[in-house]
A and B are shown apart, each in its own frame.
Chain A
Amino acid sequence: MSGLSLAVRRQRIIAPPVSGQELVLLVVIAALWVVLGLTTPAFLTSDSIRPLFVQVAPIALIGVGMTFVIIAAGIDVSVGSSLMVCAVVAAKLLVDQGAAGPLAVLVSILLGALLGAVNGVLIAWGRVHPIIITFGTLNVFQWIGRQVFGSSTVNGIPGTFDVFGRGDAGSTLGIPHSFLLTLVIAALAWWYLRQTPGGRHYYAIGGDPVAADLAGVRVRRRVAAAYVLTGALVGLAAVFTIAAGTSTLDQSVGSGLELEVIAAVVIGGTSIVGGRGSVLGTLLGALLVQTVTSGVTQLGWPTQLSSFFVGVFVVIAVGADLVREHTRRRAA
């Protein structure tokens, strides 16, 4: 190995800000938008794009937390159920107590963080595989949510959260507030994961938890914190979901959300076995998932067909990741 290539390698200790997968995703999303714009003229109008960004906000936001979890080689399949719990509690606060907006938002975020803490503590200290624990809490949270629902739906939700909604009150210069807030949080998380020791610890844990522990990383605390963060973001996403919906909240809220979020993270190039990934990729992955979902609806195809395409995209994205990993191993 010559000195020159060694010097080149030294600059690459931190990954480049935009990875190959993210560039590919940008191209795929752009291509989809052009194709959808040509086949259904209504797609590229602001009436269609703005709802897309409102709907992508919860997926991308939870995806940010899920990126931390998956980089640390974990997974959280309970986010759909915890979103249901947060949403119904926030909605009941607004309807029954007439609570002020900020209070309801705060309660929702804290409740989400609490549910996340249950996952985090059980996973970090119980030393059980995260999918088993979160599969279990998925059911427990679902039960809690339905107990709070009592009757079948919550009706007459006031417009307290309209500032995050899809109406004119919910956007500035045509960009929905929920999406802007998601961008800000994602940017913070991106900076934290790339530039701070704490962020790098997550990559270390995902690479090899034992080695990270020996190197002085407080593995359990970091792992638990990732689930708490995800929970808190679920709480905020619940507010976005209420704001984007009608004045009625039914029990199906959040069902299947965990699949969309995990798909977004994985499509974004985060390795499911941990140690690699970025928040930027997750944002693009969420955008791709939502574009597919909206596109299928706008083309007049059965809604359920969108999950077929999402599944195919997941296989392609993970396959590309495996190929990259393989070539890198061979090069090393």
Chain B
Amino acid sequence: MTASPLPTNTTAGSGPQPPTPAERAPGLGARILRAVLTQREMLLVALIVIVLAYMSYESYAGYLTADYDVDYIAGAMIDLVPLAMLALAELVVIVSGRGGIDLSVGSIASLSGMVFGFAYGEWNWPLGLAIALAAVVGAALGAVNGLLVAYLGFPALIATLATYYAYSSIAIVIHDQKPISTTEIQQMYSLTRSVEIPGLGSVLPSIPLGVFTFLLPTVVVVWLALNRTTYGRRLYAIGTNDTAATWSGVHVARTRLTAYVVAGLVSGLVAVYITAQFASARPDAGTSGNGLALPAITIAVLGGVAITGGIGRVSGVVLAALLITWLDAGILLMFEGNEGTQAQLLALGAVLIFAALLNAYTTRRYGGTR
């Protein structure tokens, strides 16, 4: 497990520990294994390098259907934005503990996307106000989850499963199963164009605008909230042991409710981005296929978030999102037609199982909080 801000896991750090006379110093192999398993960010960076190197080689050797070059890698980050944001939403919810998970993020994105479509596309609200409305609707839908889980004691799995049902159904029925794609909405596509970074345009490729307008602010705010505020400390505390947190004066229910509200709010912002990306507010934007919740949970788990709560870091989640995005982008080029999208399913499933087994093994061997 990645180094946790909690004392339970400090033994899992990689720093040299004073050897007791009875113990033999661990060999180099054991030390490397421990470093790889306990430093999730290191592992992810290594995997990203491997993926990029392998795909570039395949591209160089001409096995891919298109070039896997720097521009393609940068362009693929258009898909990174919604994935990474929803994975951060899952991070906050899963860290809050007591089986915390949010299966409804995709359907919240669908429903608040439709509301955004109405506000911006049909009622001609100003863009800023419409985005604020989408965020508020998302937060309200998240608050329903939070009330069920934190105050009424519903298991998060079943509460968010039920609201997944309900929200996606409303999103489809609200506009007679039709997407909203008026001129205003279609023109939003320009928001996802790629831009040059000022001053570095000749060195770095153009990066999709959404990375700066949506993803970076979310990452910074979530990181600050988790690591530099009292709220963050409380969240990790209730995720680790909510009885202990109660006795140390934390309002457990309110803290947990807030986690679900945050997840809903982020999903509402994702809805705006997806609407711009598809130039249309689609009623099934977050639920078509296997939906957005599954990749988001996969990325969170791969990023080292413990499903039991209390453990997980922003940096791990962002790196995992980059890994999945660039892996998916590469797989798409390895096959003709829709074989690629199918292989992505396999990759996502296999990565999730592998990451979960790895997390469980690491926790048992080095973390010991199970």
User: Chain A interface (Cβ within 8 Å of chain B)?
Assistant: 75, 122, 126-129, 131-133, 135-140, 142-143, 146-147, 259, 262-263, 266, 272-273, 302, 304-308, 310-312, 314-315, 318-319, 322
- Given A127-B360, A132-B356, check contact A314 B161 (CB 8 Å): yes
CA distance A131 to B162 in the complex (A): 16
Q: Is the CB of B290 within 8 A of A314?
A: no
Q: Which residue of A lies closest to B338 (CB)?
A: A146
CA distance A315 to B155 in the complex (A): 11
Picked from A126, A133, A137, A143, the residue with its CB within 8 Å of the CB of B342 is A143
Other than A135-B349, A319-B154, give 8 A-B pairs with Cβ distance below 8 A: A122-B357, A146-B345, A263-B162, A302-B177, A304-B168, A306-B169, A318-B159, A318-B162
Q: Is the CB of B350 within 8 A of A311?
A: no
> Which residues does chain A contribute within 8 Å of B357, judged by CB atoms?
122, 126, 128
Closest approach, in angstroms, between the C-beta of B161 and any C-beta of chain A? 7
Q: Is the CB of B162 within 8 A of A315?
A: yes
Closest approach, in angstroms, between the C-beta of A127 and any C-beta of chain B? 5
B352 interface contact, C-beta 8 A: yes
Picked from A129, A136, A304, the residue with its CB within 8 Å of the CB of B307 is A129
Q: Is the CB of A308 within 8 A of B364?
A: no
Query: Which of A139, A142, A272, A312 gathers most chain B CB within 10 Å?
Result: A139
- Given A272-B155, A319-B154, check contact A136 B177 (CB 8 Å): no
Picked from A135, A311, A314, A319, the residue with its CB within 8 Å of the CB of B298 is A135
CA distance A320 to B294 in the complex (A): 29
Q: Is the CB of A136 within 8 A of B350?
A: yes
CA distance A272 to B160 in the complex (A): 13
Q: Is the CB of B157 within 8 A of A146?
A: no
> Which residues does chain B contribute within 8 Å of A273, judged by CB atoms?
155
Residues of B21-56 contacting chain A, CB below 8 A: none
Query: Which of A135, A146, A319 gathers most chain B CB within 10 Å?
Result: A135
Q: Is the CB of B158 within 8 A of A318?
A: yes
Q: Is the CB of A322 within 8 A of B352?
A: no
Give 6 CB contacts A-B under 8 Å: A138-B290, A138-B294, A302-B177, A304-B169, A306-B169, A308-B166
- Given A140-B346, A314-B161, check contact A322 B290 (CB 8 Å): no
Q: Which residue of B lies closest to A147 (CB)?
A: B342
B152 interface contact, C-beta 8 A: yes
> Which residues does chain B contribute within 8 Å of A135, judged by CB atoms?
294, 297-298, 349, 352
Q: Is the CB of A136 within 8 A of B349?
A: yes
CA distance A319 to B149 in the complex (A): 11
Q: Is the CB of B101 within 8 A of A311?
A: no
Q: Is the CB of B346 within 8 A of A139?
A: yes
CA distance A81 to B192 in the complex (A): 34
Residues of B324-369 contacting chain A, CB below 8 A: 342-343, 345-346, 348-350, 352-353, 356-357, 359-360, 364
- Given A147-B342, A322-B152, A322-B153, check contact A138 B349 (CB 8 Å): yes
> Which residues does chain B contribute within 8 Å of A302, judged by CB atoms?
172-173, 176-177
